[in-house]
Amino acid sequence: MPSTMMVPDWFVTLLHDTDLVILWYSFLVNSFFALLLLLAAPQLFAHWRFGAEDVLTRSLTSSALPRVSILVPAHNEAASVVDSLRSLLTLQYPYYEVVLINDGSTDDSLQRLKDAYDLYEVPPAVMRRLRTERVRAYYRSRTWSKLLVVDKTNGGKADSLNVGLDAARFPYVLACDADTLIEPDALLRLARPFLFNQRIAAVGGTIRVVNSCKVEDGRVTDARVDSRWLAGIQTVEYLRAFLFGRLGWNLLGGNLIISGAFGLFRRDYLTEILGYATSTVTEDFELIVRLQRHLKENAIEASVVFIPDPVAWTEVPTSVAVLGRQRERWHRGLIATMVTHRRLIFNPRYGATGMLAMPYFLFAELLAPLVEAVGLVITVFGSAFGLLAPTYAIAFFVVAYLYGSTLSLASILMEEVSFHRYRNKSDTVRLVMFAFLEPFGYRQLTVWFRLKAFVRYVRGDVSWGRMKREGFGVEEANPARVSLAQATVSAGSRPRV
Amino acid sequence: MLSLPILLFSLKVQAVLVGIFLLALAVLRRRIESRMLKVEAAARALEPVLNDWLVLDTGVERVVEALRRFPPHAAFRGLARLVTRLVTFEQQQALARALRHEPWVQGILRGGRSRFWWRRFDVARLLSVVGGEEDVELIRSLLSDRNPAVRLVAFDAAARLSGPQLIEGALDDLPTRLDAVQAYQFAALARHPRQVAEALLPRFTSDAPVPALIAWIDAAGALAVPEALRRVRDFASHPQPEVRVHVARALRRLVEPDTPGVLLVLLTDHDWRVRGQAARALGALRVMNATDALASAVRDPAWWVRYRSALALAQVGGVARSALLAITTGDDPMARDMSRLVAGLSPAAVVEMSEV
């Protein structure tokens, strides 16, 4: 190795070997993603076929569908909560109720709900099993029998969901965010595994990016790809994560992510594990790890599955600052969860969760920013100072980035041949363009945000940070939608593979 | 160790892959859009023809003729949409007879024993519209297909037929199915209540295995055939509480003078699940003289029994509703809370909450 600087040979060798290790790491991680893609493809095809209109209609008219309580935590969402709720109350599903938990809102959310839905206070006739912040009152609607509103003192999203778990009447609960748009037939599609004679502990659907989509009456009527780079790249990221990441895990077992913004759970299992943890900043991920642990420790034969065609739409950050807070929080939550449940890692007692999923999350997710950062520094400075041959820079680019872009492209292809949600050719072109733009700046930014998570975790930071939303269809100037801009939300939907 | 040729080779591999994906994206997108246009055109063209046939009874030949004009996949999609429409049994039969020997229908049906599940899936979907007695063997094989989606749709195909073999087979399978699948099968079986009841009756024996007995009791409840439900009533004193739970639930469909007596006994069962279902059944049957028993049950220690009993009182109405209102000012706090919760519900809400 030619060296233009006066540095000891052992240092050059160390750099060289470290870079080689990082290259192999990137190659193996990306190859694992490629394996997930291969596993996902036949399942995607299957679910696309299963989602045929006549098959769905048959399910809709049968009494076989499970009864579901939709839990909607809401905090200071006065401007949008009435409309959001209306779209939830008109889903194509025969047996469900909506439990809206007003988490100590300081605006007039509750009054607006009372006026819009003719609410009346009912006694606290619910079985309380979980410890939560104080519930102030329960309300039922005279116009919508499937609506229950719970007013409580502020305790955060997890606490609200726990209140909802207690208040729910039905054996399955769907956790969703007040600002997530659920497609009318999504619940019907989500119920599919139950009709396939599967024992289900949790089932998750796809989250898609709503930025720039046309939204009418709480429904996405025209799916579009945002032309702004940050939202556009996240659209590709979400496609990749949901269409092959999670789908691939179905076959490997040990699926560990069901989005907190759109996941269906068996209520009794959640109650047995004492509901959502209020001390974590990523309550959805922590919940699934704890649920998988509970299932394995008690030899319960029930699976956690992901299916791709039920869709909910969420808004992604369009500013670097907000994205940074979101990604930092997600990674901090991941670190905390992995530390809390460290005994599962490489523990054969926990089956695929212990031997595959947890090690994957440790090596390919938790450590990824550290490895990538070291790789970047070594490659850039090593090449600049002549300590590394240019071949390493090329290798790093090919293995760490181009490989990833190729996988993104494959996920776009899968989307096109299956659900084909983006009907405009220009959107497909944008998706392809963003798949190739992702390695230039965006990847490095997310590495930086995730590195900050380590520091904040060590400092013991458990704050959520604030996330500002733009609202759906802002150009239409519908006050009900624009007003989402003022809402602060604490969730988000992790597009992790 | 890394060498430039290896790296260049891997770069080339990536480039080729990217090229293939981009090409596939362009070609497949074009193909999919053209296919979608054909399907949409078929649906548009078929809509008025189907409307005329369904509403004006213009003759099934025009439907067959219209379907013939499209490629098989588009015709199939158009036909499958019939599931979303209200079609009488006679119309279904006429359409099945008319389509049976169409080449495109025969083409799809040839996939019934294909090794590819999606072909068998399409066959099951098609048979749910055009299936006839000559398809019994094929439907039976689809009912036991290894793919759950094929099995599920095959129930609908089987529901078109009343063959005893299919009904016996479905009843044999019931205990191995989870609740949701059982309920789906009941919906299919419900099209032939008499035949199913006949097949069920000999199965109701005291030595029947509990899981099977429960599944068959549920089937009897779903079908609501009095003959079968009368036999179900005999199991009200079964030693297994699970069985009594299902008996109480099924009996809400048996409107006969003897039923309330059995349910009132079950309302005092030591298992709260039995009491809850008995209260629900008494409400569904609107048994006025169960008012006192239901009012007592609103004070039950079990939440679900209080809930079901309060709903039952609201459902029965009249004197029972007055009893419910009286409890709202009573001295039992749990009963008071529950009765206030239910008393505030609209009649529609009471019905909805009682049903699920």
Tell me: pLDDT of B342 over 70: yes
Q: Mean pLDDT, to the nearest integer, of B142-168?
A: 84
The residue behind tokens 């119920």 is: A191
Q: Per the CB < 8 Å rule, is B340 touching A122?
A: yes
Structure tokens at B236: 């009200």
A190-218 pLDDT per residue, tens: 988 888 878 899 999 999 999 999 988 77
Q: Per the CB < 8 Å rule, is B345 touching A191?
A: no
Q: Per the CB < 8 Å rule, is B345 touching A413?
A: no
Tell me: pLDDT of A479 over 80: no
The answer to whether A194 contacts chain B (CB < 8 Å) is yes
Q: Per the CB < 8 Å rule, is B148 touching A64?
A: no
Report which secondary-structure segment, H or E, holds B140.
helix B136-143
Q: Which domain holds residue B240?
A: 162-254
Tell me: pLDDT of A337 over 90: yes
pLDDT confidence of residue A489? 34
Tell me: pLDDT of B114 over 70: yes
Radius of gyration, alpha carbons of chain A: 23
Q: Give the highest mean pLDDT range of A230-234, A472-476, B162-166.
A: A230-234
Q: Per the CB < 8 Å rule, is A196 touching B152?
A: yes
Whether the Cβ atoms of residue A386 and residue A3 lie closer than 8 Å to each other: yes
Residues B197 and B270 occupy one common structural domain: no
The alpha carbon of residue B9 is apart from the nearest alpha carbon of chain A, in Å, by 11
Report which secondary-structure segment, H or E, holds A98.
strand A96-103
Tell me: pLDDT of A486 over 60: no
Nearest residue to A231 (alpha-carbon basis) of A470, A487, A476, A483: A470
User: How many residues belong to chain A?
Assistant: 497
Question: Partners of A305 in the beta sheet?
Answer: A203
Whether the Cβ atoms of residue A287 and residue A165 lie closer than 8 Å to each other: no
pLDDT confidence of residue B274? 97
The answer to whether A54 contacts chain B (CB < 8 Å) is yes
The alpha carbon of residue A94 is apart from the nearest alpha carbon of chain B, in Å, by 10
The answer to whether A426 contacts chain B (CB < 8 Å) is no
The tally of CA atoms less than 13 A away on the side-chain side of residue B197 is 17
Tell me: pLDDT of B338 over 70: yes
Nearest-Cα residue of chain A relative to residue B328:
A123
Residues B191 and B219 occupy one common structural domain: yes
User: How many residues belong to chain B?
Assistant: 356
Tell me: pLDDT of A157 over 80: yes
Q: Per the CB < 8 Å rule, is A170 touching B356?
A: yes
Out of B14, B36, B356, name the one closest to residue A95 (CB). Answer: B356
Residues of A in contact with B187 (CB under 8 A): 61-64
Q: Per the CB < 8 Å rule, is B83 touching A57?
A: yes
Residue B176 pLDDT level (bands cut at 50, 70, 90): confident
Q: Is residue B146 part of a domain?
A: no
Residues B178 and B232 occupy one common structural domain: yes
Q: Give the highest mean pLDDT range of A379-383, A468-472, B47-51, B145-149.
A: B145-149
- For chain B, what is the domain count? 2
B203-254 pLDDT per residue, tens: 999 889 999 999 999 999 988 889 999 999 999 999 999 999 999 999 999 9
Q: Per the CB < 8 Å rule, is A53 touching B81?
A: yes
Q: Per the CB < 8 Å rule, is A394 touching B348?
A: no
The tally of CA atoms less than 13 A away on the side-chain side of residue B67 is 25
pLDDT confidence of residue A125? 66
Within A51-92, where are the H helices?
A: 53-61, 78-89
B239-295 pLDDT per residue, tens: 999 999 999 999 999 999 999 999 999 999 999 999 999 999 999 999 999 999 999
Mean pLDDT of the residues in chain A: 87
pLDDT confidence of residue A437? 94
Residues B275 and B243 occupy one common structural domain: no
Tell me: pLDDT of A444 over 80: yes
Nearest-Cα residue of chain B relative to residue A418:
B32
Residues of A in contact with B334 (CB under 8 A): 125
A34-64 pLDDT per residue, tens: 999 999 999 999 998 888 888 888 777 777 8
Angle at B239 between CA B235 and CA B242, to 5 degrees: 75
Residues B250 and B272 occupy one common structural domain: no
The CA distance from B190 to A385, in Å, is 79
b/e code A332-344 from CB counts within 10 Å (16+ = b): bbbbbbbeebeeb
A343-370 pLDDT per residue, tens: 999 999 999 999 999 999 999 999 999 9
Q: CB within 8 A of B203, min separation 6: which ones?
A: B171, B212, B216
Residues B233 and B289 occupy one common structural domain: no
pLDDT confidence of residue A201? 93
b/e code A148-173 from CB counts within 10 Å (16+ = b): bbbbbeebbbbbbbbbbbbbbbbebb
Query: Bigger pLDDT: B42 or A304?
Result: A304
Q: Mean pLDDT, to the nearest integer, of A290-309?
A: 93
B64-97 pLDDT per residue, tens: 998 888 888 888 888 887 767 777 878 888 888 8
Q: Is residue B36 part of a domain?
A: no
Residue A2 pLDDT level (bands cut at 50, 70, 90): very low
Q: Per the CB < 8 Å rule, is B338 touching A61?
A: no
Tell me: pLDDT of A322 over 90: yes
Q: Give the highest mean pLDDT range of A362-366, B87-91, B101-105, B141-145.
A: A362-366
Out of A398, A417, A432, name the one closest to residue B10 (CB). Answer: A398
Report which secondary-structure segment, H or E, holds A282.
none
pLDDT confidence of residue A467? 60
Tell me: pLDDT of A181 over 60: yes
pLDDT confidence of residue B309? 97
The alpha carbon of residue A260 is apart from the nearest alpha carbon of chain B, in Å, by 25
Q: How distant, in Å, are the alpha carbons of A422, A483, B14, B298 from that of A230?
A: 18, 22, 25, 57
A14-25 pLDDT per residue, tens: 888 888 888 889
CATH code of B337's domain: 1.25.10.10
Residues B250 and B268 occupy one common structural domain: no
Chosen domain end from B215, B234, B254? B254
The CA distance from A373 to A370, in Å, is 5
Residues B167 and B238 occupy one common structural domain: yes
Residues B177 and B202 occupy one common structural domain: yes
Q: Mean pLDDT, to the nearest integer, of A395-407?
A: 84
Q: Is residue B196 part of a domain?
A: yes
Tell me: pLDDT of A441 over 70: yes
The alpha carbon of residue B229 is apart from the nearest alpha carbon of chain A, in Å, by 19
Residues of A in contact with B21 (CB under 8 A): 406, 409-410, 413
Residues of B in contact with A406 (CB under 8 A): 14, 17-18, 21
Q: Per the CB < 8 Å rule, is B183 touching A50?
A: no
Tell me: pLDDT of A340 over 90: yes
Q: Is residue B81 part of a domain?
A: no
In chain B, pLDDT over 70 holds for what percent of residues?
98
Q: Per the CB < 8 Å rule, is A146 touching B352?
A: yes
B9-33 pLDDT per residue, tens: 888 888 899 999 999 999 999 999 9
Chosen domain end from B235, B254, B273? B254
User: What is the residue extent of each domain of chain A?
Assistant: 9-66+171-486
| Backbone angles phi and psi of B40, in degrees to 5 | -65, -40
Residues B268 and B350 occupy one common structural domain: yes
Residues of A in contact with B2 (CB under 8 A): 20, 23, 391-392, 395
Out of B81, B222, B306, name the one closest to residue A54 (CB). Answer: B81
Q: Is residue B45 part of a domain?
A: no
CB < 8 Å from B in window 89-148 of A: 95, 120, 122-127, 140, 142-143, 145-146
Residues B166 and B208 occupy one common structural domain: yes
Question: CB contacts < 8 Å between A and B, how many?
Answer: 165
Q: CB within 8 A of A306, min separation 6: which ones?
A: A203, A204, A205, A242, A246, A247, A249, A250, A255, A257, A258
Q: Is residue B214 part of a domain?
A: yes
Residue A81 pLDDT level (bands cut at 50, 70, 90): confident
In chain A, pLDDT over 70 holds for what percent of residues?
92
Q: Mean pLDDT, to the nearest integer, of A152-158?
A: 93
Q: Is residue B92 part of a domain?
A: no
Residues of A in contact with B11 (CB under 8 A): 394, 398, 402
The alpha carbon of residue B218 is apart from the nearest alpha carbon of chain A, in Å, by 12
Chosen domain end from B201, B227, B254? B254
The CA distance from B342 to B333, in Å, is 14
Look at A1-10, A442-451, A480-489, B36-45 and tell me which has the smallest mean pLDDT: A480-489
Q: Is residue B101 part of a domain?
A: no
Residues of B in contact with A433 (CB under 8 A): none
Q: Per the CB < 8 Å rule, is B7 touching A395?
A: yes
| Backbone angles phi and psi of A84, in degrees to 5 | -60, -40
